[in-house]
């Protein structure tokens, strides 16, 4: 089968379409014929070598990708509740011997797979599991009560957009930053208040403090503003880092690290995300669909920033 492979670490051009054997269907797993797989920032980190420690037990070429959609083609021993041919989407952990989502066929634990509602196109569904689960995990870490104020940096991005929509669904007051061109988008996603994104993190945080002088109860740092984001949070509030960085404890703020591989309840969360997508509460946004041969361009686009929605590789 064809797959996206990383044989050596480096710039986007190290990515190649490689041949790999069909994955085995082991107990507790299902095999999926992939329609589409999303490209995400973790892929960039894997490709560049930032995550080399996680891949050291495995033999290259490594297959990136953390979410996919397609049709179920086989169930392993012990799996119930699925039928061959089901339209499904899956969260995929690329830090295993089986590799990630960007392949024509993948084997995934059944508790990381859910059916895709008929109203959601499979290509769009490929952009929901990883970012949706990260937003779900971040909100769980903050555990804010209804009516609390949540700040979401980078609300117009794929992760930020899901965080805004899921937070609004849970009754939170949502404040998010955006460039002028994205204000209307954030309003459609459900942000109660949109502040102007600055030229640097300090300017963006200052805009949050003008809008919410006492500081937000919680903040999801989807845009990776880093340590300056702490200044937008009230004393005793909470901040969720969506990528690792140093954020020293200050003013009683609880700092959490979202790492979707450690989500404690992925199966139930995926079911919830699928149901919310069916109702239109969550709206997957596809920025562009590319063939596997153009995955290097997808990496470059993501590195440049400003992508609104998910970049999807269609197999």
What is the tens place of the pLDDT at every residue in 220-276? 999 999 999 999 999 999 999 999 999 988 999 999 999 999 998 999 999 999 999
Query: Using one digit for the tens of pLDDT, what is the confidence trace for 134-188?
Result: 999 999 999 999 999 999 999 999 999 999 999 999 999 999 999 999 999 999 9
Nearest to 85, CA basis, from 22, 21, 33: 33
Beta-carbon contacts of residue 270 (< 8 Å; ≥ 6 apart): 89, 91, 112, 113, 114, 129, 132, 133
Are 177 and 196 a contacting pair, CB within 8 Å? yes
Rounded Cα distance, 95 and 31, in Å: 18
Assign 72 a pLDDT band (cuts: 50, 70, 90): very high
Nearest to 149, CA basis, from 249, 234, 210: 234
Are 147 and 173 a contacting pair, CB within 8 Å? yes
Backbone angles phi, psi at 17, to 5 degrees: -85, 120
Q: What is the structure's pLDDT at 129?
A: 97
**CA 134 vs CA 41, 139, 168: distances in Å:** 12, 9, 16
Burial, 8: exposed, middle or buried (Cβ in 10 Å; 0-12, 13-18, 19+)?
Answer: exposed
| Long-range CB pairs of 54-58, under 8 A, 24+ apart, other chains included | 54/95, 55/95, 57/97, 58/96, 58/97, 58/99
Question: Does the domain formed by 131-261 have CATH 3.40.50.300?
Answer: no
Rounded Cα distance, 211 and 207, in Å: 6
Question: What is the residue extent of each domain of the chain?
Answer: 2-127+284-314, 131-261
Q: Inter-axis angle of helices 129-142 and 158-169, to 10 degrees?
A: 50
Query: Using one digit for the tens of pLDDT, what is the confidence trace for 210-227?
Result: 999 999 999 999 999 999
SS3 112: helix
Over 90: is that where the pLDDT of 39 sits? yes
Centroid of chain to Cα 13: 23
User: What's the predicted TM-score (pTM) here?
Assistant: 0.95
Rounded Cα distance, 136 and 143, in Å: 11
CA dihedral 36, 89, 105, 261 (to 10 degrees): 110
Domain at 2-127+284-314, CATH homologous superfamily: Medium-chain alcohol dehydrogenases, catalytic domain (3.90.180.10)
Are 259 and 80 a contacting pair, CB within 8 Å? no
């Amino acid at each position: 089968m064809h797959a996206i492979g990383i044989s050596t670490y480096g710039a986007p051009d190290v990515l190649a379409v490689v041949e790999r054997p069909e994955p085995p269907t082991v107990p507790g797993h299902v095999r999926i014929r992939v329609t589409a797989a999303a490209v995400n920032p973790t892929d960039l980190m894997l490709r560049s070598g930032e995550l080399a420690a996680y891949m050291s037990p495995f033999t290259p070429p490594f297959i990136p990708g953390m979410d996919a959609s397609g049709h179920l083609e086989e169930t392993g021993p012990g799996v119930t509740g699925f039928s061959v041919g089901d339209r499904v989407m899956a969260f995929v952990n690329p830090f295993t011997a089986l590799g990630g989502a960007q392949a024509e066929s993948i084997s995934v634990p059944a508790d990381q797979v859910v059916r895709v509602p008929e109203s959601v196109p499979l290509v769009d569904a490929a952009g929901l599991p990883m970012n949706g689960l990260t937003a779900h995990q971040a909100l769980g870490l903050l555990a804010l009560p209804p009516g609390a104020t949540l700040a979401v940096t980078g609300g117009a991005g794929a992760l930020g957009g899901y965080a805004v929509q899921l937070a609004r669904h849970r009754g939170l007051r949502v404040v998010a930053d955006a460039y002028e061109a994205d204000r209307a988008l954030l309003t459609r996603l459900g942000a109660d208040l949109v502040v102007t994104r600055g030229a640097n993190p300090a300017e963006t945080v200052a805009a949050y403090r003008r809008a919410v002088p006492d500081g937000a109860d919680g903040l999801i740092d989807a845009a990776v503003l880093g340590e300056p984001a702490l200044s937008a949070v009230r004393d005793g509030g909470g901040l969720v880092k969506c990528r690792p960085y140093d954020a020293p404890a200050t003013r009683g703020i609880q700092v959490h690290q979202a790492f979707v591989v450690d989500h404690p309840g992925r199966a139930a969360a995926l079911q919830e995300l699928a149901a919310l997508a069916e109702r239109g509460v969550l709206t997957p946004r596809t920025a562009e669909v590319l063939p596997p041969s153009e995955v290097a361009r997808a990496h470059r686009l993501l590195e440049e920033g400003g992508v609104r929605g998910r970049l999807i590789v269609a197999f």
